[in-house]
Amino acid sequence: MDDRLATLYLLPPPASTSWAGTPGQTIQSTIVRQKRDPLTLDLPLFWYDPRWCELPTSQADDLAVAVSRHNILVSALRSDLSGPDVKTDFHAPQSAADSDSKGENADDKAESTTEEPTYFPRIVPYRPERYGLSPKDFDHATIIDVRLMMPRDTSGRFAYSPEQIARWESKNPSDAETDGSWVPAATFPPDVDSFEKLSSKLNQLRQLAPSAAVFTSIGPFRLEQEVPLAVAAKPDGLIVRLDQVALEPLQLAALTRRARQLINDANGKKVPLWIVPGEITADDAVKLVALGADAIGIDAWCNPLLDVPDTGRSHYSSSVDFDDLADDALTERLERFSGLYLSLQRVPVKERLGSFSATWARTLAVRALR
């Protein structure tokens, strides 16, 4: 696809700037957590809302691992990737998952090393109704995402599909369909029914998931009202779902900039802003970072990996190599993103963006090029 933010340019340093390579450059980012040590992320990219119910659990588990091996945070519950009492590679230590993929004995592997186990970077989607959630989901989580926005299914309903409910309840999808069970969102009393109660919920989740940073996510429709209220609850980060509406390119850029300003104005300068932008290129992702985002949702890059041919779904075999599929879909984009992201570090913050469009320059408060 073409760059959505092509009218906006990432600027090099001025011609008079002395240029030298900077050793030890890193793309890692740090999240300052409330009352806990900071959390380091290897890559500021995440897969926010995979539709795991479109794949059999065994394939969903393999795909989650394949994407996570690129240091991309992946959102998934255990019930998204397996049946009851079935272990998933995605939730296992990385060494064990790698051993399984190579046909090695994971127990022997574990005995041969005394290193602290590491786990795949993982987001736990904490929905208001808590569908599909189990206490084990909190173990070794990276991010807990308290979703305050009522979800709209692909049908347009504020509801969950029969296939999705069947996956979370470990039922046969055909049984759920027989029940006619489109399940309305917020069927149960929501866990967080007001912003006033959000702070206590975030603190409770910090106790349940001491390894994680606890975020909250909101939609794009009421940023002026909801961002200050969300920041007042002291989350470790805020996710804004700009993919929920068809935005013009300038609107996407302006809302990202505005969300960052609103967070700062609410005494949240250290609160990370994560954006889910919809369809973007690697260049767009870095421009959103330059506009104030700290991490970018890349669902548009990862969702096509769910489109396994029907033969692969019904007769799962090793012929479906999700590692190769993920490499083909992601490697070039990640290289481009990383290179541009690192190049930003050589340019002062206020000098990173410019546009030949007077409208863009004025709206985004970036340098007007002429």
Mean pLDDT of the chain: 87
Give the per-residue pLDDT at 176. 44
Question: Which residue did the predictor score with more confidence, 315 or 30?
Answer: 30
Q: What is the 3-state secondary structure (H, E, C) of the chain?
A: CCCCCCCEEECCCCCCCCCCCCCCCCCCEEECCCCCCCEEECCCEEECCCCHHHCCHHHHHHHHHHHHCCCCEEECCHHHHCCCCCCCCCCCEHHHHHHHHHCCCHHHHHHCCCCCCCECCEEEEECCCCCCCCHHHHCCCCEEEEECCCCCCCCCCCEECHHHHHHHCCCCHHHHHHCCCCEECCCCCCCCCCHHHHHHHHHHHHHHCCCCEEEEEECCCCHHHHHHHHHHCCCCEEEEEHHHCCCCHHHHHHHHHHHHHHHHHCCCCCCCEEEECCCCCHHHHHHHHHCCCCEEECHHHHHHHHCCCHHHHHCCCCCCCHHHHHHHHHHHHHHHHHHHHHHHCCCCHHHCEEECCHHHHHHHCCEECC
Question: Does residue 45 lie within any of the structural domains?
Answer: yes
How far is the first Cα of the chain from the last one, in angstroms, to the nearest whole number? Answer: 27
Checking if the pLDDT of 140 tops 60, the result is yes
Task: Identify the residue whose tokens are 């979800």.
Answer: 151
Question: Does residue 274 lie within any of the structural domains?
Answer: yes
Question: Does residue 300 lie within any of the structural domains?
Answer: yes
Query: Residue range 96-100: average pLDDT?
Result: 59
Looking at the chain, the whole-number percentage of residues with pLDDT higher than 70 is 85
Question: Does residue 191 lie within any of the structural domains?
Answer: no
Checking if the pLDDT of 300 tops 70, the result is yes
Distance CA 142, CA 224 (A): 28
Query: Residue range 170-181: average pLDDT?
Result: 53
Left, alpha or beta for 317 (phi > 0: left; psi -120 to 50: alpha)?
Answer: beta
Distances (CA, A) of 168 to 17, 53, 58, 147, 172: 56, 9, 14, 17, 11
Q: Which of 69-73, 184-188, 305-309 has the highest mean pLDDT?
A: 69-73
Residue 156 has a CB neighbour count (10 Å cut-off) of 7
Query: Residue range 308-321: average pLDDT?
Result: 60
* Position 156 confidence tier, pLDDT thresholds 50, 70, 90: confident
Query: Residue range 355-365: average pLDDT?
Result: 97
Closest CA to 201 of 282, 293, 127: 127
- Sign of the CA dihedral with 324 first, then 330, 333, and 337 last: negative
Question: Does residue 154 lie within any of the structural domains?
Answer: no
Write out the residue range of the structural domain in which residue 287 sits.
8-88+121-128+135-148+212-368
Lowest mean pLDDT among 21-25, 39-43, 193-197: 21-25
Question: Does residue 310 lie within any of the structural domains?
Answer: yes
Closest CA to 110 of 119, 121, 122, 99: 99
Q: What is the CATH number of the domain that holds 44?
A: 3.20.20.70
Give the per-residue pLDDT at 190. 67
Give the per-residue pLDDT at 23. 54
Distances (CA, A) of 192 to 126, 252, 267: 11, 28, 23
Residue 282 has a CB neighbour count (10 Å cut-off) of 22
Question: Which residue did the predictor score with more confidence, 129 or 306?
Answer: 306
Give the per-residue pLDDT at 96. 60
Give the per-residue pLDDT at 178. 40
Question: Does residue 251 lie within any of the structural domains?
Answer: yes
Number of domains in the chain: 1
Q: What are phi and psi of 155, to 5 degrees?
A: -75, -15
Checking if the pLDDT of 153 tops 50, the result is yes
Question: Does residue 37 lie within any of the structural domains?
Answer: yes
